Amino acid sequence: MILTDTSILAEMAKGTIVISPFDRKHLGSNSYDVHLAKHLAVYRSDILDAKVHNEIDHFHIPDDGLILLPHRLYLGVTEEYTETHRHVPFLEGKSSIGRLGIDIHATAGKGDVGFCNTWTLEISVKQPVRVYHSMPIGQLIYFEISGEIGTPYDTKASAKYTQRTDKPVESMMWKNFDKK
């Protein structure tokens, strides 16, 4: 089941969901709107290799916005830091963002119980579009789980995205390959 606004607030009061900063006006009937932070990144190389550490360059979105271009992957990040200790968070794009031709994630819309961080966004666009920092970019939806959690994400030995950050984080797929 998806949590309602009152359920999200109740879980926040218990500390099982953390959203910071939190503003009640961004809470919908069954989701919370998250916002694009000022940090973006792009990969240095045009050709990415899953077995190597592909480095990124960080930059800021100026106050007058930044035009994103098709055929380029931008890594963004949410302004909001979140923690989810008893629910599965899903990050989805807002319909207004989709209608501008902006996709905010390629495959990683689901978080894990125990995820405690900002959300890195995998942003691509269908045509050139100007974006602004602090604009609503997506919405978090929380699902109830069934059963006890054996290993929350933040305690999992193989978890690759646990270092708290306010900047986008590049793919750590290369850590899945044996170093011989």
Alpha-carbon gap, residue 75 to 44, rounded angstroms: 12
Which string of DSSP letters, residue by residue, matches 55-83?
-EEEEE--TT-EEE-TT--EEEEBS-EEE
Extents of the domains making up the chain: 5-147+165-175
42/179: higher pLDDT = 42
Q: Among all chains, which residue has been given the structure tokens 């708290």?
A: 164
CATH superfamily of 5-147+165-175: Deoxyuridine triphosphatase (dUTPase) (2.70.40.10)
What was the pLDDT predicted at 12? Answer: 98
122 is catalytic: yes
Alpha-carbon gap, residue 120 to 122, rounded angstroms: 7
- What is the pTM assigned to this prediction? 0.91
Q: How confident is the model at residue 90 (pLDDT cuts 50, 70, 90)?
A: very high
**Cβ atoms of residues 37 and 118 within 8 Å:** yes
Beta 74-77 vs 120-125: how paired, if at all?
antiparallel
What was the pLDDT predicted at 178? Answer: 67
What was the pLDDT predicted at 78? Answer: 97
What was the pLDDT predicted at 179? Answer: 58
What was the pLDDT predicted at 171? Answer: 82
The predicted-structure confidence for 136-174, as pLDDT tens digits, reads as follows: 999 999 999 988 888 888 887 777 887 888 888 888 888
What was the pLDDT predicted at 86? Answer: 94
The predicted-structure confidence for 94-121, as pLDDT tens digits, reads as follows: 999 999 999 998 777 788 999 999 999 9
Catalytic one of 122, 144, 148, 170 = 122
The predicted-structure confidence for 21-70, as pLDDT tens digits, reads as follows: 999 999 999 999 999 999 999 999 999 999 999 999 999 999 999 999 99
> Residue 176: is its pLDDT beyond 90?
no
